[in-house]
């Protein structure tokens, strides 16, 4: 089980109730085990972070990035965060919020393909 900083729990609850349009659209495609019968969680605390979407069985994190993620200071923080999650054995997929809104099927296909590949790797000896 992955640990998290306890004071993030309330923040995660708040984020779940204030999802962006792009997060809502993607959540409608990830929830209720629609992809490969795998459970996703939204706004899940992991370590000192809250990730947008998390599929523990596939060890996959999906992030939907708004425009602030293109700023240099934010890009550096995202790299540090992704490195931390990678050390936990998690794969991180990042999508621009505009891409999620306009190319939802393509985004979902990338997530599906990544999950399939990760599940195959987990089954390999």
Measured CA to CA in angstroms, residue 75 lies from 62, 66, 80, 84, 91 at distances of 16, 12, 9, 14, 17
Residue 39 half-sphere exposure toward CB, CA atoms < 13 A: 4
User: At residue 95, does pLDDT exceed 60?
Assistant: yes
CA atoms of 19 and 66, how far apart (whole Å): 12
For the segment 4-12, the average pLDDT, to the nearest whole number, is 92
Query: 8-123: CATH homologous superfamily?
Result: VSR Endonuclease (3.40.960.10)
pTM above 0.75, yes or no: yes
pLDDT at 110: 98
Q: What is the pLDDT of residue 6?
A: 86
- Please report which confidence band the pLDDT of residue 71 belongs to, taking 50, 70 and 90 as the band edges: low
The residue assigned the tokens 């523990």 is 56
pLDDT mean over 19-47: 97
Locate the domains of the chain by residue range.
Answer: 8-123
């Amino acid at each position: 089980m992955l640990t998290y900083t306890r004071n993030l729990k309330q923040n995660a609850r708040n984020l779940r109730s204030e999802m962006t349009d792009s997060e809502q659209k993607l959540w409608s495609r990830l929830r209720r085990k629609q992809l490969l019968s795998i459970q996703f969680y939204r706004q899940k605390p992991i370590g000192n972070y809250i990730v947008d979407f998390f599929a523990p069985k596939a060890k996959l994190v999906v992030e939907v990035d708004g425009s602030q993620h293109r700023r240099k200071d934010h890009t550096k923080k995202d790299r540090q965060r992704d490195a931390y999650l990678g050390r936990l054995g998690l794969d991180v997929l990042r999508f621009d919020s505009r891409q999620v809104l306009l190319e939802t099927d393509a985004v979902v296909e990338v997530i599906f393909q990544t999950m399939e590949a990760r599940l195959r790797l987990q089954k390999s000896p």
